[in-house]
């Protein structure tokens, strides 16, 4: 387990959100935990989570510059996906977008959270659909305490950010906002008139009201967000908006929650001229309204050393993309509407046996899924005449999954654990219905996609003494992984997709055989002295595609073989703290054919803090302090784009 330094002293807490405790025995699975101080120690939540090796967005780009459509989180380097192969929940409510499965990280400021647990490996049992490679369980702060957290910072490239929480006896308010002039992903001699900064403006607000009615605890949480981004090319930008609502009731041994999410994405893309001398409009997805809603319930009981939980959940989504495409003679000539509905629901049972030196947990669930009411219509933009009407066929099925884990004390503070599991992820509306374009590369949707299924085994050792450490090995097999498969190279005209220019490729989302991955992972944390704290972690994964024609034997796109993170904190005096965090990643491939290589790279973040009171500090920080060029993308004609250069900022933080 990844352990953080002890949290800072906090003020009295009135009450947390209604939730049930996890059953005993969860330590049998590979987990990492973060406290409130760690979650608010970085500008963005995904930057905190990726200190656990194997945790990443689809590309190396963080949420400071990544398009919303590639902000899905994946665990382990089995096969990252733009939609994400991990489920993210906040006090039980899914945070994945109802249309695309990605996560709008700017809507989840770390200042509003009290903790997070990452569970690697398929999340059958209480988590259900979507938790293919694991789950990230977020917990919101308790109500009360007045102004319990606040951050204000300013940095290079006209960047600023502010976020905070305020609580009364029955109310918690969380708000955040930021902006930056951004940076150009393409650098050096390759930069042309086509290139522009990755600008960002975002804001979010959420309120949770809670109380008690007799023995029943209740809570109502509502939130809203907006983020506007420049995509790094002239004429390419996005605007994501949305809202959420969750109503929770809980007793001593039961919990019932209803939730709803809405979102809309405006996303424009551009074609890049030869030599990057300019761009022309390629696609205008002017509206992608979507909604998701669901219900989950659980009941727990305990008898002696045994405990168990019974429950179920249902999730429904609906959404459409409305877009203009086929830009000719200075105007878009085609209009497209594509989308549909999905439904997934399941029942589960999980039991646990726990004693001082031994624990066992096991669970199983059965889910039914359905994609239906699909539509794909294309019209002449000038006349409205119908040029394509190809409604996709409905699809449905059932998927059983299960998990089992055991943990045994070996001797003293050393433990052994082992686990086996299965999980599944149905395709999102985005994968089923929405084509997209990045530069000159076009990826087509596929309404015939089947759900992905993962089967896995893992085992490991852990020590809980003065030095906390874990070392584990795993084997995962993903059947029918949804992959962007290359089916054509430009220049040329293809069915449905139309013209692909020189330097571009045509891909389509397909179920690509299976992916087999095995690897080692481990971490260590230690308090070397009252002044020194260190940590280190690694994840090494060998992943290959099998049974998918030209992809057999190749590494999945965007999956690095090795990730290493390390950090140190030094407090030479009580008021002064110095932090250093390092992340190294081996090479990965931009594409499914392994022809575009993103070189290995490392980034070093530095931070100096000075306490002005027991609960507040001022700080100076440098992200990517050595100004390393970390490749995040590469076009077919060899132009590489990079993540953020060195960024220095100053700030003030309050943590109570």
Please, are residues 207 and 218 in contact by the beta-carbon 8 Å criterion? no
How confident is the model over 354-380, as pLDDT tens digits? 999 999 999 999 999 999 999 999 999
How confident is the model over 238-292, as pLDDT tens digits? 999 999 999 999 999 999 999 999 999 999 988 888 889 999 998 899 999 999 9
182 pLDDT above the threshold of 90 = yes
Q: Are strands 562-573 and 532-546 parallel, antiparallel or unpaired?
A: antiparallel
Q: What is the CATH number of the domain that holds 151?
A: 2.40.170.20
Tokens 């940076």, residue located: 183
Please, are residues 246 and 266 in contact by the beta-carbon 8 Å criterion? no
How many residues are present in the chain? 656
Which pLDDT does position 15 carry in this prediction? Answer: 64
Nearest to 88 by CA among 125, 53, 46, 27: 46
Rounded Cα distance, 638 and 651, in Å: 39
Number of neighbouring beta carbons within 10 Å of residue 274: 12
Rounded Cα distance, 520 and 532, in Å: 27
pTM for the structure as a whole: 0.92
Which pLDDT does position 77 carry in this prediction? Answer: 78
478 pLDDT above the threshold of 60 = yes
Please, are residues 319 and 289 in contact by the beta-carbon 8 Å criterion? yes
Rounded Cα distance, 313 and 191, in Å: 50
10 pLDDT above the threshold of 60 = no
Residue 550 CB-half CA count within 13 A: 12
**Residues contacting 511, CB < 8 A, separation 6+:** 449, 450, 452, 480, 481, 482, 483
Tokens 């409905």, residue located: 394
In terms of Cβ atoms closer than 10 Å to its own Cβ (0-12, 13-18, 19+), residue 564 is: middle
What percent of the chain has pLDDT above 70? 97
How confident is the model over 203-251, as pLDDT tens digits? 999 999 999 999 999 999 999 999 999 999 999 999 999 999 999 999 9
Region 583-603: mean pLDDT is 92
Which pLDDT does position 22 carry in this prediction? Answer: 83
**Residues contacting 211, CB < 8 A, separation 6+:** 170, 217, 218
Please, are residues 38 and 48 in contact by the beta-carbon 8 Å criterion? yes
Inter-CA distances, 21 with 91, 126, 187, 298, 652, Å? 11, 12, 49, 11, 34
Domain count, the chain: 1
425 pLDDT above the threshold of 90 = yes
Residue 362 located in a structural domain: yes
Please, are residues 422 and 404 in contact by the beta-carbon 8 Å criterion? no
Rounded Cα distance, 203 and 213, in Å: 34
Residue 202 located in a structural domain: yes
50 pLDDT above the threshold of 90 = no
5 pLDDT above the threshold of 60 = no
Inter-CA distances, 295 with 4, 312, 336, Å? 33, 8, 32
Average pLDDT, rounded, for the chain: 91
Q: Which of 36-45, 51-60, 92-101, 164-173 has the lowest mean pLDDT?
A: 51-60
In terms of Cβ atoms closer than 10 Å to its own Cβ (0-12, 13-18, 19+), residue 368 is: middle
Rounded Cα distance, 621 and 646, in Å: 10
Residue 343 located in a structural domain: yes
Residue 332 located in a structural domain: yes
**Cis amide bond preceding 491, omega within 30:** yes
Which pLDDT does position 549 carry in this prediction? Answer: 79
Please, are residues 365 and 125 in contact by the beta-carbon 8 Å criterion? yes
Nearest to 165 by CA among 154, 176, 155: 176
Rounded Cα distance, 540 and 171, in Å: 44
Inter-CA distances, 117 with 24, 207, 256, 375, Å? 15, 23, 21, 39
* Element containing residue 606 per DSSP (H, E): strand 601-613
Backbone dihedral angles phi then psi of residue 652, each to the nearest 5 degrees: -130, 135
Please, are residues 119 and 624 in contact by the beta-carbon 8 Å criterion? no
Q: Are strands 159-167 and 640-642 parallel, antiparallel or unpaired?
A: unpaired
Rounded Cα distance, 404 and 349, in Å: 12
In 3-state terms, what secondary structure has residue 37?
Answer: helix
Residue 360 located in a structural domain: yes
Residue 317 located in a structural domain: yes
Distance from chain centroid for Cα 346: 23
Rounded Cα distance, 1 and 461, in Å: 10
Is the pLDDT higher at 478 or at 549? 478
Which pLDDT does position 358 carry in this prediction? Answer: 96
For every residue of 544-602, DSSP letters joined together read EEESSGGGTTPPPTT--SEEEEEEEEEEEETTEEEEEEEEEE--EESSTTS-SEE--EE
- Per-residue pLDDT band for 4 (boundaries 50, 70, 90) equals very low
Sheet strands (E) in 391-466: 395-411, 414-425, 436-438, 441-444, 452-464
In terms of Cβ atoms closer than 10 Å to its own Cβ (0-12, 13-18, 19+), residue 357 is: exposed
What percent of the chain has pLDDT above 90? 71
Which pLDDT does position 8 carry in this prediction? Answer: 43
Rounded Cα distance, 521 and 540, in Å: 6
**Residues contacting 246, CB < 8 A, separation 6+:** 91, 92, 93, 219, 220, 221, 222, 257, 258, 259, 260
Rounded Cα distance, 270 and 277, in Å: 13
Rounded Cα distance, 609 and 613, in Å: 12
Q: Which of 258-267, 427-436, 614-623 has the lowest mean pLDDT?
A: 427-436
Which pLDDT does position 11 carry in this prediction? Answer: 41
Rounded Cα distance, 599 and 596, in Å: 10
Residue 14 located in a structural domain: no
Domain containing residue 37: 26-451+466-655
Region 19-25: mean pLDDT is 82
42 pLDDT above the threshold of 70 = yes
């Amino acid at each position: 387990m990844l352990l953080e330094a002890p949290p800072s002293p906090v003020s009295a807490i009135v009450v947390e959100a209604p939730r049930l405790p996890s059953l005993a025995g969860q330590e049998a699975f590979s987990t990492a935990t973060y406290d409130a101080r760690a979650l608010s120690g970085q500008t963005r939540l995904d930057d905190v989570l990726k200190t656990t090796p194997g945790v990443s967005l689809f590309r190396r780009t963080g949420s400071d510059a990544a398009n919303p459509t590639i902000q899905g989180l994946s665990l382990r380097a089995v096969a990252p996906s733009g939609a994400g192969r991990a489920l993210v929940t906040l006090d039980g409510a899914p945070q994945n977008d109802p249309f695309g499965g990605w996560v709008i990280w700017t809507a989840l400021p770390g200042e509003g959270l009290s903790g997070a647990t990452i569970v690697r490996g398929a999340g059958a049992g209480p988590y259900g659909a979507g938790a293919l490679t694991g789950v990230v369980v977020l917990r919101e702060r308790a109500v009360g305490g007045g102004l319990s957290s606040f951050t204000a910072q300013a940095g290079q490239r006209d960047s600023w950010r502010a976020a905070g929480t305020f609580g009364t006896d029955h109310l918690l308010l969380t708000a955040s906002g930021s902006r930056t002039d951004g940076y150009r992903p393409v650098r050096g001699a390759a930069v042309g008139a086509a290139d522009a900064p990755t600008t960002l403006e975002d804001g979010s607000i959420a309120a949770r009201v809670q109380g008690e009615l007799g023995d029943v605890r209740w809570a109502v949480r509502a939130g809203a967000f907006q983020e506007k981004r420049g995509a790094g090319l002239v004429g390419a930008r996005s605007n994501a908006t949305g809202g959420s609502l969750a109503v929770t009731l809980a007793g001593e041994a039961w919990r019932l929650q209803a939730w709803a999410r809405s979102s809309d994405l405006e996303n424009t893309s551009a074609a890049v001229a030869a030599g990057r001398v300019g761009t022309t409009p390629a696609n205008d997805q002017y509206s992608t309204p979507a909604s998701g809603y669901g219900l989950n319930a659980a009941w727990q009981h305990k008898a002696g050393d045994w405990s168990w939980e019974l429950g179920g959940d249902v999730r429904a989504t609906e959404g459409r993309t409305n877009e203009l495409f086929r830009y000719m003679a200075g105007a878009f000539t085609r209009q497209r509407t594509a989308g549909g509905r999905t439904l997934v629901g399941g029942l589960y049972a999980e039991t646990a046996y726990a004693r001082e030196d031994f624990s066992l947990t096991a669970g199983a669930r059965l889910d039914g899924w359905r994609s239906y009411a699909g539509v794909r219509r294309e019209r002449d933009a000038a006349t409205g005449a119908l040029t394509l009407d190809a409604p996709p066929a409905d699809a449905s099925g059932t998927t059983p999954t299960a998990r089992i884990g055991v943990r045994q004390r070996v001797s003293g503070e050393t433990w052994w654990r082992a686990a086996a599991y299965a999980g599944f992820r149905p395709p999102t509306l985005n994968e089923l219905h929405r084509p997209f374009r990045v530069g000159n590369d076009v990826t087509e949707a596929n309404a015939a996609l089947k759900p992905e299924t993962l089967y896995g085994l893992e085992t490991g050792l852990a020590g809980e003494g003065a030095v906390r450490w874990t070392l584990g090995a795993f084997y995962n097999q993903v059947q029918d992984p949804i992959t962007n498969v290359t089916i054509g190279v430009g220049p040329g005209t293809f069915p449905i997709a139309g013209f692909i220019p020189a330097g571009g490729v045509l891909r389509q989302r397909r179920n690509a055989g299976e992916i087999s991955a095995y690897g080692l992972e481990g971490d260590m944390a230690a308090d070397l002295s009252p002044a020194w704290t260190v940590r280190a972690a690694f994840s090494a994964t060998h992943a290959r595609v099998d049974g998918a024609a030209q992809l057999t034997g190749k590494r999945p796109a965007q999956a690095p073989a090795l990730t290493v993170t390390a950090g140190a904190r030094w407090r030479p005096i009580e008021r002064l703290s110095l932090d250093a965090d390092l992340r190294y990643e081996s090479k990965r491939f931009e594409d499914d054919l392994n022809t575009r290589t993103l070189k290995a790279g490392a980034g070093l973040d530095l931070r100096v803090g000075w306490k002005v009171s027991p609960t507040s500090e001022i700080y100076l920080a440098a992200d990517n302090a050595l100004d390393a060029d970390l490749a995040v993308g590469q076009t077919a004609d060899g132009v590489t784009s990079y993540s953020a250069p060195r960024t220095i900022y100053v700030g003030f933080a309050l943590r109570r």
